[in-house]
Structure 1
Amino acid sequence: MTVHHAACDGASSTRFLHAWAAAATGAEGPPPPVIDRTLVEDPRGRLYDLFAKAMPTADQMEHVKMPDDHLFATFTLSKGDIQRVKDVVAGEAGRRGTVPPRCSSLVATFGFIWSCYQRAKDAGSSSGARTFLCFPIDHRSRMKPPVPAEYLGNCVGAAIHAAPEDQLAEAGAGGLFVACTAVAAAIEEAVGGVGSPELWIEQFKEAGVAGTGMLTVAGSPRFRVYEVDLGFGRPVKVEIVSVARTGAMAVAEGRKGGGGMEISRCVNPIQ
């Protein structure tokens, strides 16, 4: 399946897959899509120009070279694994005498992967330079007025936060605490209306100038991709192959259920 984000976001594309699967198997499908772009208001009329000027052209995106030496790996965190991350973060907060971050399963998963990735990528770094994590937030229910969940289009914003590279790369509880605190802060700022398209672009630029990079996220455990049965049974494996080009980490619910999460990365073998 190929999706162009000028047409829709991940929530819309996977809703389409669930509708397709229902039609193929005779099951009850989701409500029909709502196709009305006026539902997403842009009172100042600036969004198109803002993103059109900031984003690379389609030609530039399509001609990014695929690395020959990278490996695609998938890791599964069970519900127990995620709970252990939460416990470590809470314990580290107690040791530091500070209030622990709101460590949901998503926060624990993103924080764990971010810290591990940074430790593998920059072992021994002591620069203190900031590096960023960016992941999408669905704003349908947060719009004023709210946009229907069935809206077919793009209605996502960016949750972005930075953390010092050397602190993220700390082994053990220290790196996990720093990472999860930053992820929780990104969510709070995104849903609290602190972020804005202008700020997102500035943060992307800061990451580019600093040369420390930005780890991005594709997918969501809420999409329930392992429940898409097109008549052949549930998928054995779902992959977001575009992460080989973008460097993002792909996220889905655990294929065996039980509250776990699946994370895929395409990286250099030494990382």
Structure 2
Amino acid sequence: MIYLKNWFDSMGSDSDTAKKSLNIFPDKGEAASLVRATIEITREDLKTLRERVLSKLPDTGKEDLHLSTFVLTYAYITTCIVRSRRGNGDRDVAFGFTIDCRPRLDPPVPENYFGNCNTISSGMEKKLSFLLECYERLKTNPFQAISVAGSPGFGVYGSDFGWGKPVKVDVVSIDKNEAVSLAESRDGSRGVEVGLALKKHEMEKFFSLFLSEF
């Protein structure tokens, strides 16, 4: 009921029917002065990142730590973006990604459920209280957020709708919501293709940071 109340509050009161609609959200348009770039993180790059992370951790528990391709890529890209924007070192920065809640619900949804059951979060493994914290923080202290569209596991370069497999995939929505996009490498090398949309000076700083680690 707490989650439902927050959801309904964000939509307006029962008498405010204008806010309750199935219409698509209005297009905010592209942010001004953005440039786009696509970079690739290879399997060797991912190996370097994984070894670097493990080298900074205590020996206890290393063997149980799973550093997936998604985690390594998103963590490194997000770090470079935050540093490229400089600003107050103590500023709040949130990062989010979409997760499938269906296997996490109790009672579970039926096996034949057809539909979405997603949320944006950075920690859903043990509890859902993080969502309540987000609701309260957004009311009083808006913060910069970096989200991700796609995943290397989606297999977008393997899709074929009748006119052949795609040569290049771009996620156009990252021009509007300060997100990054992730996909598998188009050459099948098991790397990651990352789409970026940043201001020109941010992009220049990003590349200087990104390339310095490899």
TM-score range (shorter-chain normalised) is 0.7 to 0.9
Does residue 1:222 correspond to 2:153, yes or no?
yes
Residue 70 and residue 86 in structure 1: after superposition, are their counterparts in 2 closer, same or farther (change >3 A)? Answer: same
Asked if 1:190 corresponds to 2:154, the answer is no
Question: What is the match of residue 36 of structure 1?
Answer: none
- 8 A contact 2:41–2:191 mirrored in 1: yes
Identify which of 174, 182, 202 aligns with 1:251: 182
Distance 1:118 1:92, change over 3 A: same
Q: Distance in 2 between matches of 1:153 and 1:50?
A: 23
CA RMSD of aligned residues (A): 3.1
What letter corresponds to residue 129 of structure 2 in structure 1? G
- For normalisation by structure 1, the TM-score amounts to 0.60
Report the CA distance between 1:227 and its aligned residue.
1.4
Aligned counterparts of 1:207 and 1:121: Cα–Cα separation in 2: 19
Aligned partner of residue 191 in structure 1, secondary structure: coil
Relative to the length of structure 2, the TM-score reads 0.75
CA distance in 1, matches of 2:187, 2:25: 34
**Is contact 1:131-1:207 (8 Å) kept?**
no
The structure-2 alpha-carbon separation of the partners of 1:52 and 1:247, relative to structure 1 and needing over 3 Å to count, comes to same
**Partner of 1:23 in structure 2?**
none
What displacement does 1:228 show?
A: 1.0
CA distance in 1, matches of 2:152, 2:2: 32
- Tell me, what secondary structure is at the counterpart of 1:249? strand
Specify the SS of the correspondent of 1:222: coil
Q: Quote the Cα distance in structure 1 between the aligned partners of 2:171 and 2:41.
A: 18
State the shift of 1:213 in Å. 0.6
| Structure 2 counterpart of 1:104 | 68
Q: What is the aligned-residue identity percentage?
A: 26
Unaligned runs of at least 5 residues, structure 2: 13-18, 203-214
Give the equivalent residue in structure 1 for 2:28: 64
Deviation at 1:148, TM superposition (A): 6.2
Alignment of 1:135 onto 2:112: no
Aligned to 2:42: 78
* Structure 1 residue 252, shift from structure 2 partner: 1.7
Change (3 A) 1:72 1:194: same
Per the TM alignment, residue 151 of structure 1 is displaced from its structure 2 partner at its CA by: 4.3
- Aligned residue pairs, count: 192
Q: Is the contact between residue 86 and residue 103 of structure 1 (CA under 8 Å) also seen in structure 2?
A: yes
Asked if 2 retains the 8 angstrom alpha-carbon contact of 1:227 and 1:234, the reply is yes
Q: CA 1:263 to 1:152, structure 2 compared with 1: closer, same or farther past 3 Å?
A: farther
Structure 2 Cα separation of the partners of residues 77 and 149 of structure 1: 36
Measure how far apart 1:215 and its partner are.
Answer: 0.7
CA drift of 1:107 comes to 1.1
Alpha-carbon distance in structure 1 between the residues aligned to 2:181 and 2:42: 16
Deviation at residue 262 of structure 1 after TM alignment:
1.6
Moved over 3 A (4+): 42-48, 57-61, 97-102, 145-152, 194-197, 203-207
Q: Which amino acid aligns with 1:74?
A: T
Structure 1 or 2: more helix by fraction: 1
Extract unaligned runs of 5+ from structure 1. Answer: 1-41, 161-188
